A and B are shown apart, each in its own frame.
Chain A
Amino acid sequence: MRVFWALWKREVASAFQTPMAWIVLFFLLLVTGFIFYGGVSVLNHGPTEVTVVESFFNTIFFWFAFLLLFPLLTMRLFAEEYRSGTVEPLMTAPVRDSQVVLAKFFGVLFLYAVLWLPTGLYFLIFWWQTRLHAAGAVGAYLGAYFLLLLMGSFYLALGCLCSSLTRHQITAAMMTFCMVTLFFFTGLISYLTGQIGGLMRGVAITFSPIDQMTEFSRGLYDTRPIVWYLVMTGLCLFLTLQSFQSRRWRR
């Protein structure tokens, strides 16, 4: 466990010692700031059917910024260690492969969570200025952030996997972006199968992040996405471990 914490600490520290974390944080706050402003200014034109929280987490701009996060956060994780050769001192220390994979994953998950933390300020400011809740209930805030964390862990694990496959950060970033968008847009199948309806449509909607967010940001929790994301995170981390171990047999 000590080894895990030493590795985890280095991961988190190195993210903040390099400009990457700060750049990502800056642009994320810029984009979400505009989205929040947009969500509030809608209220100026009269009553709406959706709360500020619902609209905040469901604009196209939000999802766009969201999808770009993953390649940026995960691309260096393994690829950089391979390229600079630091994987050699790392793996000749008495450290297990699984400890490295888990430390890198939880390190980047922590970083991801920290990135979202300041967005909570928007809703605090909203409450402070208007004495109104931005959402219908506390569960809506929790639901939205909880879903962000769940989706994040799956997509970050996917990013870990892509980064562990190559020594080039750019390749890792492109693979991650493709994979994440692929999973993200599974929900669009529901439009294709619109005429058919039935089971396919139901499945597609269940696994569509946009539809999930619509529900969670109202405070409606569905256990199916929760299980799906946890299982997929585990699967991706397992594959990452296999890929990381395979470096020994590659040349």
Chain B
Amino acid sequence: MIFVKGLTKSYGSTNAVRNLSFSVERGEIVGFLGPNGAGKSTTMRILCGYLPADAGEVRIAGFDVFSQSIKARSRIGYLPENVPLYPEMRVVEYLSYRASLKGVPSRRVPEKVDDALELCGLGHVRRQLIGTLSKGYRQRVGLADALVNEPDILILDEPTIGLDPNQIREVRSLIKGLAARHTILLSSHILSEVEMTCSRLMILNKGRIVATGTPAELRERSGISLAGSIRLEISTQHGSGHQKMLAQFPGIASVTPLGTTGEWASFELLPEVGDPRAALFEEIVRRGWKLRELSARESTLEEVFTAIVGSSSPISRKENAS
């Protein structure tokens, strides 16, 4: 549905997007992930035909966004960052206006507007002036606008930014619900969010895609062990020597003591391969040590992100060296 090849865009001497290529298939929810200024918004604006690219090819549902702009744009529902709206219009007026702009036939406008209002939970504010709405509701109006003509593709720029946790959960479930009928490309710099909604992620940094894949694939590729780390708390009543034993235990790559509270000493272990927890438990029992915690923690996307973006960014490399 979305096909991008060799996309390049610079503002003056700043390269916002450099030689970007990717494609999104029908029915996918793809997340654009990256720190601020990574080129997420610029890319989305180019996809929507708002900005011209310096070089490269962008096709939306088979239409070129430069030469067949109107056709391409009519296939897209776009939610811009910060959701600019006309404050003097009422919610229902605005959505009807947007529906007619997007070519919804006149007699079908009220029906489509009602559908969008209901889907986004805007029914009770339909007669309210947009200027009096809270940030969360404005966001929903933006989303309703993107949906109103039932486009094939939804491009959502930071759909949950500025919302409170409850609203974030609502918007997230709304987006998941839309996946059945739309192809979705959304951007975010909050990892847990894209991890929960997206079937595929693209990590952008300094205008380049530095990694792409499912959340699980990204974890694997980042070099961080898939099993994550193991947390262990052992009683110190039976003397020391725990750390030495753990370090020598087969399958453990490293042991980090996390300190002691009372008689309990805690450690973080990084396994080399597989899951050594069962063997570890047996060994501890054999030695007659007291055990309070033995748990595995999956590495978060946060760590994956830091590992991937961090290694490609010269700033953090400098920090590591110093």
By a beta-carbon cutoff of 8 Å, the part of chain A in contact with chain B is: 2-3, 5-7, 9-10, 13-14, 17-18, 84-96, 248-249, 251
Nearest neighbor of B157 in chain A, beta-carbon distance: A88
Kindly state the interface size class of chain B when it binds its partner.
20 to 34
Contacts of A18 in B (CB 8 A): 88
Interchain CA distance A90-B89 in the complex, whole Å:
15
By the criterion CB–CB under 8 Å, are B86 and A86 in contact? yes
Q: How far is the CA of A13 from the CA of B90 in the complex (A)?
A: 11
Q: Are A94 and B74 in contact (CB under 8 A)?
A: yes
Considering the complex, give the chain B residue whose CB is closest to the CB of A7: B101
B100 engages A2 (CB within 8 Å): yes
Contact of B86 among A14, A92, A249 (CB under 8 A): A14
A249 CA to B11 CA, complexed, in Å: 9
Residues on B with C-beta less than 8 A from A249 are 52
A10: nearest chain-B partner, CB-CB: B97
Residues of B within 8 A of A95 (CB): 70, 73, 101
* Given A91-B50, A93-B102, 6 other A-B residues pairs in contact with their CB atoms under 8 A: A3-B101, A9-B97, A85-B84, A89-B98, A93-B98, A94-B102
A86-B85, A94-B74, A96-B70 known; A2 and B50 CB under 8 Å?
A: no
Given A89-B145, A94-B102, A94-B103; A6-B97 close (CB under 8 Å) = yes
B259 part of interface (Cβ distance < 8 Å): no
A2 to B76, CA, bound (A): 19
Of the residues A17, A87, A92, contact of B78 by C-beta under 8 Å? A92
> B183 to chain A: closest CB distance in Å?
17
CB pair A94 B101 closer than 8 Å = yes
A3 & B100 in contact (Cβ 8 Å cutoff) = yes
Q: Is the CB of B84 within 8 A of A88?
A: yes
* Inter-subunit contact B103/A3 (CB<8 Å): yes
B134 contacts A by Cβ under 8 Å: no
Bound-state Cα–Cα, A3 to B100, Å:
7
Check if A92 sits within 8 Å of B49, measured CB to CB.
yes
Q: Can you list 20 residue pairs at the A/B interface with Cβ under 8 Å?
A: A2-B100, A3-B100, A3-B101, A6-B100, A14-B86, A17-B88, A85-B82, A85-B84, A86-B84, A89-B85, A89-B98, A89-B142, A90-B101, A92-B49, A93-B102, A94-B70, A94-B74, A94-B103, A95-B73, A249-B52
Question: 8 Å CB contacts to A: which residues of B82-109?
Answer: 82, 84-86, 88-89, 93, 97-98, 100-103, 106
Complex CA gap A5/B11 in Å reads 35
How far is B51's CA from A2's CA once the two chains are assembled, in angstroms? Answer: 25
* Closest beta carbon of chain A to B153's beta carbon, Å: 12
Query: Does B12 have its Cβ within 8 Å of any Cβ on chain A?
Result: yes
> How far is A84 from B86 in the complex, measured between Cα atoms in Å?
8
Specify which of A3, A87, A96 lies most central, judged by the most chain B CB atoms within 10 Å of its CB: A3
Q: Flag if B84 contacts A89 (CB, 8 Å).
A: yes
- Please pick, from A5, A92, A94, A96, the residue contacting B50 in the complex, using a CB distance under 8 A: A92
Taking a contact as CB atoms under 8 Å apart, the answer to whether B101 and A251 are in contact is: no
Residues of B within 8 A of A9 (CB): 97
Taking a contact as CB atoms under 8 Å apart, the answer to whether A85 and B80 are in contact is: yes
**Interface residue SS majority, chain A:** helix
Q: Which 8 pairs show the lowest CB-CB distances between chains A and B? A: A85-B84, A6-B100, A94-B74, A92-B48, A17-B88, A94-B73, A86-B84, A93-B101
Which chain A positions have C-beta within 8 A of B102?
Answer: 93-94
A99's closest neighbor in chain B, by CB? B101
Residues in A with CB closer than 8 Å to B74 are 94
CB of B91, distance to nearest CB on chain A (Å): 14
Closest residue of chain A to B85 (Cβ to Cβ) is A86
Let me know if A84 and B89 touch, CB within 8 A.
no
User: How far does the alpha carbon of A3 sit from the alpha carbon of B45 in the complex, in Å?
Assistant: 22
Q: Which of B57-89 contact A (CB under 8 A)?
A: 70-71, 73-74, 76, 78, 80, 82, 84-86, 88-89
State A6–B94 Cα separation when bound (angstroms).
Answer: 11
Residues of A within 8 A of B48 (CB): 92
User: What are the residues of chain B within 8 A of A17 when measuring CB–CB?
Assistant: 88-89
Chain A residues whose CB sits within 8 angstroms of the CB of B12 once the complex forms: 251
Q: How far is the CA of A134 from the CA of B11 in the complex (A)?
A: 62
Q: How far is the CA of A77 from the CA of B145 in the complex (A)?
A: 22
Distance, CA A89 to CA B86, complexed state (A): 11
A89 to chain B: which residues have CB within 8 Å?
A: 78, 80, 84-85, 98, 142, 145
Select the residue from B12, B50, B88, B101 with max chain A CB neighbours within 10 A: B101
**Bound complex: CA of A17 vs CA of B93, how far in Å?**
12
**Complex Cα spacing A89 to B85, Å:** 8
Whether A2 contacts B106 by the Cβ 8 Å rule is yes
Closest CB in chain B relative to A50 CB, distance in Å: 43
Q: Which residues of B contact A96 (CB under 8 A)?
A: 70
Please indicate the chain A residues that have their CB under 8 angstroms from the CB of B89 in the complex: 10, 13-14, 17
Please determine whether B80 and A88 come into contact, CB atoms closer than 8 angstroms.
yes
In angstroms, Cα B48 to Cα A93, docked, is 9
| Nearest chain B residue, comparing its CB with the CB of A248 | B52
User: Shortest beta-carbon distance, A195 to chain B, in Å?
Assistant: 54
